[in-house]
Amino acid sequence: MMPSATVIVATIRALKYHGGVDIKEVNKENLAALEKGLANLERHVDNVANVYGIPCVVSFNRFTFDTRAEIELVKSRMEKLGAPFVLATHWADGGKGAAELARVVVGLCGRSSKPRFVYDDADPLWEKMEKIAKKVYRASELTADAKVRAQIKQLQDSGYGHYPICMAKTQYSFSADAKVRAAPSNYTINVRDVRLAAGAEFVVPILGDVMTMPGLSRVPSATKIDFVDGKVVGLF
């Protein structure tokens, strides 16, 4: 089933961080840094709307220290992109703080959309990785050493070429380097390892220094959790 709409959640704090502000200073008004960091949000909106072809709304989680000037700057930039912008305060106001967001999402779902994939199932594994790196991350080149290339070829030759790709990299940057902020373009990104998730039916390229999720046990902890006499038991 294809999605009808996407919600992109952002904060002014995060955008100022992408604009070069130290994490300890993100609660202070800084329009120059916000202006620079907005490139990151604009890239996400462009990817969702134009690369994936899915209508999106920008949900801004408002903090008490966000200033009116900062909010207006973000709102005006989103309007230029044609992306709906909603201030969400559900962290403080509960459901009513997200009511407007819900209305916008329902409206987007009523539109006609034609979601598309970054690559085709029939593309070779390496080509799938390249398309993600270039179309989504905006890298100019994807590289890998001979050992990793051989692993990818072995997976391709062993019948796993039709598997989708699940890129594993830092969530803090479009690149594989967590320290690279905003929206880098025209850089080289390297695949340092590749793994097969046969059960989930994914091929997982590892980009940069990132810790992947551990495998789950055969008997998950959820089987021990229950609701007995009005109390949740088995959590610990």
Per-residue model confidence as pLDDT tens digits over 69-128: 999 999 999 999 999 999 999 988 999 999 999 999 999 999 888 899 999 999 999 999
Judge residue 13's burial from the number of C-beta atoms within 10 Å of its C-beta, 0-12 exposed, 13-18 middle, 19 or more buried.
Answer: buried
For the segment 41-78, what is each residue's pLDDT rounded down to a tens digit? 999 999 999 999 999 999 999 988 999 999 999 999 99
CA distance 24 to 207: 28
> Could you tell me where the beta strands, DSSP code E, fall in the chain?
6-10, 56-61, 85-88, 141-144, 188-197, 202-207, 226-228, 231-233
Directed axis angle between helix 68-81 and helix 31-46, to 10°?
30
For the CA atoms of 107, 102, 46, 34, the dihedral, rounded to the nearest 10 degrees, stands at 140
Q: How high is the pLDDT of residue 126?
A: 98
Query: What's the pLDDT score for residue 136?
Result: 98
- Please, what are the domains in the chain? 6-109 (no CATH), 125-207 (3.10.410.10)
CB neighbour class for 78 (10 Å; exposed up to 12, middle 13-18, buried from 19): buried
What does pTM read for this prediction? Answer: 0.85
What is the distance between the alpha carbons of residues 137 and 44, in angstroms, rounded to a whole number? Answer: 10
